[in-house]
Structure 1
Amino acid sequence: MRLSPSLLLLALVGCTQFPELDAARTPGVETMPFPALLPLDGLLEGPEPRATPEMRAGIEGRVAGLRARAARLQGPVVPASDRARMAQGIAWPY
């Protein structure tokens, strides 16, 4: 009798709707060749990537934007006027 709940669970899982994966494919992908496999040693032995001045300027701009956003998030979530009103509570109608 222990098998009955397991079969019920398995039957429910079998009724699951799966998304249409074929519709999400890029057109023409089935005719494309498989990508070439490369040895890992050759990929690791290459020159180390270096940041260019253009990349540095872009990153510094993003850092400044993120720091400004973080500074705006440091303030109180509820303004002081609303906090004082909430501290007064509500009057019961009874």
Structure 2
Amino acid sequence: MRILETFALLACASCAPFPELDDTVDQEARDAPYPTLVNISALNAAIGPEPTLPLAEIESRLNELDASAEALRGPVVDDESRSRMEEGVR
């Protein structure tokens, strides 16, 4: 019985109309030439090498990020606020 249900579902899905896409592209886009293909190595050469940071600057930034992360690890609600909230719920 499962096979029959699956077949019926697929048959219904295949009857869905295909969207009309021909009218969504204007004539100017249809008449436009194909873009020129460029080798990826030419694009990479045009960009140039990535700038590198000195190791000391990277370590400094890493330490700043670690300090920020440590500050965010604390409790979200302090003990005094938590006790007031618990009293309000009771």
Q: State the TM-score, normalizing by the size of structure 1.
A: 0.43
Pick the structure with greater CA Rg.
2
